[in-house]
Amino acid sequence: MTPGPARASEAGSEPNAAPRVVLGVGAGIAAYKVCELLRRLTESGHDVRVVPTADALRFVGEPTWAALSGKPVATGVWDAVSQVPHVRIGQTADLVFVAPATADLLARAAHGLADDLLTNTLLTARCPVVFAPAMHTEMWEHPATQANVATLRARGAIVVDPASGRLTGRDTGPGRLPDPAELFEVARRVLARGGVARDLAGRHVVVSAGGTREALDPVRFLGNRSSGLQGYALARTAVARGARVTLVAANVALPDPAGARVVAVESAEQMRGAVLEAASGKDSGDGPADVVVMAAAVADFRPAAYAGSKIKKRDGAGPAPIALVQNPDILAELGARPHGGQLVVGFAAETDDLLENGRRKLARKGCDLLVVNQVGADLTFGRPDNAAVVLGADGSSTEVPRGPKEALADTVWDLVTARLPERGGS
């Protein structure tokens, strides 16, 4: 399962051929959502072979998978034996994506069982392997399941943490299969990286995104134009590189990235609390973060007083002035504490003298890296693309030409991984 670039390109698709994806389907009710993932994969030019477990067909039948993929569907190793499918399918894949990965399937994969076509495929695949688990919270949190997940991750697989929310029946909690559109993004990004090692595997990253809102009264706030797109691109690319991701999101109207733990906040004060807690690892089992990236636009000021009821027009007296007080600077606080090996990455939104202002800000806020981009009404905010210069505390400067926000995100992670202290295991 550990990917090897040379092996993957030998065994997988020819250059320019449609990428070959094996879609492994486990016996969970969320199998119905995987039809949508399959449709997205085939419509975007992937060559998809669906390999369900026998029990998965109780949830979604063979004709659905066959019709949507345009290929025959088998679950056992005794069909079409002359083509040696139990070996070939895994050997020739560019990506194996398993969704929903049930507790049973994770256990069989972790223990190397080979009792059906899918587990045989997992043993013969040398390409990247992604598991998207879905199950009830108790099963997900059980130490046996967690140990199996840790084993699979240690062997190089990407295990996309399930989303939290409504489960089958009345319960809610972690265990939901993430949105098919977001799973598709994971597949697309992992394929785009080819056989490149998941260099953030075993790392915990914290990313802040969006723009804070500072309440004035029950209906009004001071806010900013940040859409959250850059922070979400950072979270998505980090998941595809194998990281555990905590995404502290302020007022973002975007779907949760698959695999990221999303903590929603509104104000700068709330963001400070959530970021510091996630950075320390106290709020989850993820341990102290290896890196904190402050991509959020945090309001520098907030109203000095919050009016408990809606502020009324004052007849003839004109508008009342709004007194402001300064918010804590979260990035400067992260940079100033002793953070023993934890990298701190900031963003700088500048309208003029980018490099000069950027260098000053990098030093003032004590960060290891600072992504400086030019902002204005029609630059950056809400756009899918971005251009930046990434300054390093070591004096380095990396120019990132205008391109998709995920390309900038990948450059940030490249610079981060080059600076992360070595660490054993995952």
Using CB under 6 A as the criterion, which residues of the chain lie in contact with ligand CTP when the complex forms? 268, 294, 296, 298, 300, 327, 329-331, 346-349
Looking at the Cβ atoms of 127 and 412, the one nearer to ligand CTP is 412
Residue with tokens 């063979």: 62
In this structure, are residues 240 and 229 in contact, taking their beta carbons and an 8 Å threshold? no
Q: How far is the CB of 326 from ligand CTP (least distance, A)?
A: 8
Q: How far is the CB of 392 from ligand CTP (least distance, A)?
A: 15
Q: Decide: helix, strand or coil at residue 162.
A: coil
Looking at the Cβ atoms of 298 and 409, the one nearer to ligand CTP is 298
Residue 367 DSSP symbol: -
Give the whole-angstrom CA distance, residue 333 versus residue 310: 34
Q: How far is the CB of 312 from ligand CTP (least distance, A)?
A: 30
Q: How far is the CB of 300 from ligand CTP (least distance, A)?
A: 5
Q: Give CA torsion, residues 22, 25, 26, 29, to 10 deg.
A: 160
* Catalytic choice (224, 251, 327, 373): 224
Q: How many CB atoms lie within 10 A of CB 416?
A: 25
Residues whose CB is less than 8 angstroms from the CB of residue 239 and which lie 6 or more positions away in sequence, other chains included? 158, 160, 186, 189, 245, 257, 258, 259, 260
Looking at the Cβ atoms of 217 and 300, the one nearer to ligand CTP is 300
Residue 221, burial from CB neighbour count under 10 angstroms (0-12, 13-18, 19+): middle
> Residue 251 catalytic?
no
Looking at the Cβ atoms of 327 and 411, the one nearer to ligand CTP is 327
Residues whose CB is less than 8 angstroms from the CB of residue 345 and which lie 6 or more positions away in sequence, other chains included? 291, 292, 293, 294, 367, 368, 369, 370, 371, 412, 416
Structure tokens given for 116: 């059906």
Q: How far is the CB of 183 from ligand CTP (least distance, A)?
A: 29
Helices (H) and strands (E) in the chain, counts: 14, 19
Give the whole-angstrom CA distance, residue 281 versus residue 39: 38
Residue with tokens 């408990």: 308
Q: How far is the CB of 269 from ligand CTP (least distance, A)?
A: 10
Looking at the Cβ atoms of 166 and 225, the one nearer to ligand CTP is 225
Looking at the Cβ atoms of 150 and 216, the one nearer to ligand CTP is 216
Structure tokens given for 409: 């995100």
Residue 170 DSSP symbol: T
Q: Which amino acid is at 400?
A: V
Residues with a known catalytic role: 224
